[in-house]
A and B are shown apart, each in its own frame.
Chain A
Amino acid sequence: MIELWSLIAGVVLLLLLMAVAIKGWLAPRQFQERTRASRELGAMEPCPEEFVSRIFSPADREFVRGLKAGSIERLFEQERKRVALVWVHQTSAMIRKVMREHAEATRESKNLEFSTEINILAQFLTLMAVCWILSVAVQIGGPLWLGGLAHFGQRLSQQVTKLQESFQAGVLAKAERVGRA
């Protein structure tokens, strides 16, 4: 019995620590994010799947290799790396923005579903880990072998965005019902 209670206490403590860590991690980025996101990443329309495929696809590299020109190959590797990093940073910034909006919405919501919150948090943490791995891997070995992971990240970010949108729609609908009543 004591073991069960200590397990529950451990899980709760872990969740609290994670919440504090995420809050602390998001806070210093807020100003930086707002300015950079509105300028560089201002256009927050998500990158369609076909472009993610294009960025991470090795097809263009095959074409460049066929030219048998070292300087063009080097330029290609450098350029594709740059584009891939822009995509990774954009995805990461977009998902942080979604999570900030979610955090704001949860503050206004009174009946939070624990399972939904854990699901969103888990997806957010997975996505941030994917972005970090992609960022490091792209810088080390270039983007052309990371198509699978990039697509996974893309799908996950769409999922988190949809979850947040449906959550926000629910909060708004509830607020309207309360307002009418």
Chain B
Amino acid sequence: MRMLGLERRAACFVLLSNAVTKRPRERGRNPRSRERLVRHMRVRELPSREGVSTLHVPRGRIRMRARRAALSVGARARDVMRRSFRAVLNSAITELSSSPAFHRLVDEVVQYLVHHPDVQALIHEQTTSFVDEAVDDLRAEAARADTAVDRAMLALRRRERKKS
């Protein structure tokens, strides 16, 4: 049966970890696992002696794999935290939105804000300030245009006087 790449690698990782953790005599005894280790993990085969391990396992590679695994464990932990927090938050929101006491509280707060004179003044100021600004601009522009027309008329009158 042909194994998939990922599975093969996982199997080799297990074999390697066994090779490191097991006692030297037990390393690489199984010929099949030994073959896999040599082929896929580039484990160097040493000249065999009876009763002694025949495989040289690079420890740095194991360390790197362990680090990667630790990183993925951290990411998984964060993901789990995020999911659980989201679930708690959703349940709290659902609970609050369905609770009549919360609705009453929101109504009270809104009523308090609506009837507060400062809030009323603020809303009034905000709605009127935009209109006031536009009207002021229109008036100022019209007054400027009036002055321009007056100036032109005055110049016309002076010219007429000079002619006469």
A, B: real partners: no
Name A's B-contacting residues (CB within 8 A). none
